[in-house]
Amino acid sequence: MLKVGVRPHRCETVASRGGHGSLFAPEALRSSSAHWEAPVSFALYTIGFIIMIAGLIYGATLLHMPTRWIVVGTVVLLGLGIVKAVTATRQRDPSS
């Protein structure tokens, strides 16, 4: 039985808690010792971030925010988006 306020580990199944089936991932994709993460390309990450920023710009325009603050927010978000995209997509150095 799931306890209220307790989040299961992302690879934990309902079956391991007494239920049926898998909570987050099929058994074939899950490994107890390996951490699986889908690779995301820099371009895809950046395109998604730009679409999000465009939506925020549109919303700020509809709220009649001053143009200078929309530009400041856009520049800050673009900088944060580039840093986040590089961090998320960089290749790890193989351990020696």
Query: What are the CA-CA distances from residue 23 to residues 14, 38, 67 (Å)?
Result: 5, 18, 46
**8 A C-beta contact, residue 46 and residue 87:** no
Residue 24 scores a pLDDT above 70: no
Q: How far apart are alpha carbons 57 and 74 in whole angstroms?
A: 8
pLDDT value, residue 86? 87
pLDDT digits (tens, 9 = 90+) for 29-40: 555 555 555 667
pLDDT digits (tens, 9 = 90+) for 3-13: 566 555 555 54
Rounded mean pLDDT, 14-23: 52
